[in-house]
């Protein structure tokens, strides 16, 4: 039985790697880990009822990590 993916793994599309490149897997796992940490921090702020601005900042960090992951994958798969 396969385990459910984490929020970060879903956010980076961990299971999508048509090239089968190990570098793509490695990058996606690293970024998924960062995103999972940011999401955990964000959930903590939501649970405590802290500043909505803090929640927004964590959400932006997650979005930017997703963007960076996509550019990193593009870089390692580039065939010019």
pTM above 0.95, yes or no: no
Q: Tell me the pLDDT tens digit for each residue of 36-51.
A: 999 999 998 777 777 8
Per-residue model confidence (pLDDT) at position 50: 74
Q: Tell me the pLDDT tens digit for each residue of 56-71.
A: 999 999 999 999 999 9
Distance separating alpha carbons of residues 33 and 30, to the nearest angstrom:
5
Residue 58's SS3 state is: helix
Rounded to 10 degrees, the C-alpha dihedral 54/57/59/63 comes to: -170
Per-residue model confidence (pLDDT) at position 48: 79
Q: Any idea where the domains of the chain sit in the sequence?
A: 22-77
Distance separating alpha carbons of residues 23 and 38, to the nearest angstrom:
23
Distance separating alpha carbons of residues 40 and 19, to the nearest angstrom:
31
Under 8 Å between Cβ of 30 and 14: no
């Amino acid at each position: 039985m396969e385990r459910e993916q984490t929020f970060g793994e879903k956010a980076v599309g961990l299971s999508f790697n048509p090239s089968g490149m190990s570098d793509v897997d490695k990058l996606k796992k690293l970024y998924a880990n960062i995103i999972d940490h940011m999401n955990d921090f964000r959930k903590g702020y939501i649970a405590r009822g802290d500043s909505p601005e803090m929640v927004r900042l964590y959400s932006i960090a997650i979005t930017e990590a997703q963007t960076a992951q996509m550019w990193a994958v593009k870089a390692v798969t580039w065939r010019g």
